[in-house]
Structure 1
Amino acid sequence: MIHPTAQIDPAARIGENVRIGAYCVVGAEVEIGDGTVLASHVVIDGPTRIGRDCRIHAFAAIGGEPQDKKYAGERVTLEIGDRNTIREYVTINRGTGNGGGVTRVGDDNWLLAYTHIAHDCQVGNHCVFSNNATLAGHVTVGDHVILSGFAGVHQFCRIGAHAFIGMGAFVNGDVPPFVMVAQEGYGRPRGINAEGLKRRGFSPERIGAIKRAYRALYLSGQPLAEVRAQLAAMADDAPDVKAMLDFIDTAERGLLR
């Protein structure tokens, strides 16, 4: 299952039914789970752990050193979950010693061509990153997030679950769960990701509560402290609004408004 031109370090751990294509390079301290497939010319540096049944396409560069001048060669890692599709020329870097030491990508994600995930990022499950989507360092992305083509996220920002970032939008603040961001210079909120929520089985009642919370946060013109009080009242009967409120309360970089 390993092409004769592939170079596999003796310290790498390769699971069962793994296929490794021509001219791949797998370094030391790399672990590849059962059933994962590497096309030709994939480079994986360690320490990196890749889960089961992933599909990694040609010329992806996985587990490289962080692109951070403060990195001094300390042992840092990359962890990638199960059933991820990683397309051509995707780059994912390991963490940094002063940033937690690990970059993580969850399960069932689609990372399309030329996606970049920088050091110390934490990416959830069931996300879709379209071509050329880019995360700077220390970005946290929740589950079911979509980044459209050429979207970029500034370092230390957080993207809440079920958010949608439109094509070419540049995000420089935290994006609450369910919110849709569109390009206008820097990305600005433009409603909620209603269509995506419908596809994932959200009821009309849940979507209605999220819409009301969005209107209070982005359309009322009130100060954030007053909006927060309104959301707290809504959250008693709406867990999704409670998730938005919790996200707002823990925003460190500042909320995208």
Structure 2
Amino acid sequence: MINDYSIDAGEYKDFVGGYGFTILESNYRVDVQLFNALGAEIEVATDVGSSWFWRQPIWTEIPRVAFIRVTALTNGTVGRIQSSEGISGNNVLAGSVDVPNAIQTLDGSLEIVKDSRGFVVEVQCPSSAGEYSIAQLWNPPGSGVNLVVDEVNGFHTLPAVHPLYLYRSSTKLVTNFGAAAAVEGNKFLNSAVYSGAEFQYENTATILSGIEGSALLAKYRGQYEDSSYILKKPFVLSPGVGLNFSSTLVNGIVSASYQYHSEKV
């Protein structure tokens, strides 16, 4: 869920049982520490900027992150923090299929969460694959719910000449799918087209027409910069539809954070 937390410089806030978070404002600096159930520090990120996603090994090698501690370094408040309190990494991956480092998919309807929810994932194709990295929020057929997406945050390691794509898919991504061109060739896109006018842009960017006219949004961002998509009109994923966040450079690293809630069909 997205919460507004005010933490003065030198103070800290613990987030219990979370699996990831994104800091949504950039006018401050914080330290981030991850702890297991025994209180042992798992990982620390010092002097974190506007957005931070922990890396995939945190939830593949460590069964549970007990709590996250965020300590403010600067005066004032840390602003908005998107977290997922009460959910462990095990629950995040329930029912999902993970092709190692290439494609990461979350079955949204299988996540055990109350009210609004989010998930954070980072993916990277193997260096020999020559494919794009994709983070997908998937609503399985027969789920009985629509997933209503309110916000998408993304981070990438691509040079500025390579845009990020946000698009919908009628196919769950469960395996390596051949050449990177398969994405641009519409292999995993349905016919729905959403105009860029449906989106509010937090960051200045060049907006393209998209992949074969079917992308929701394409943005050029500088390397290691964040892209935030706060939807003027929430995007509804009906059963059997997914929302994909993709790099456009082979083997690039992509992190995505989806903020959504479910509604019965």
User: What is the TM-score normalised by the length of structure 1?
Assistant: 0.29
Structure showing the higher helix proportion among its residues = 1
User: What is the TM-score normalised by the length of structure 2?
Assistant: 0.28
Structure showing the higher strand proportion among its residues = 2
* Bigger Cα Rg: 1
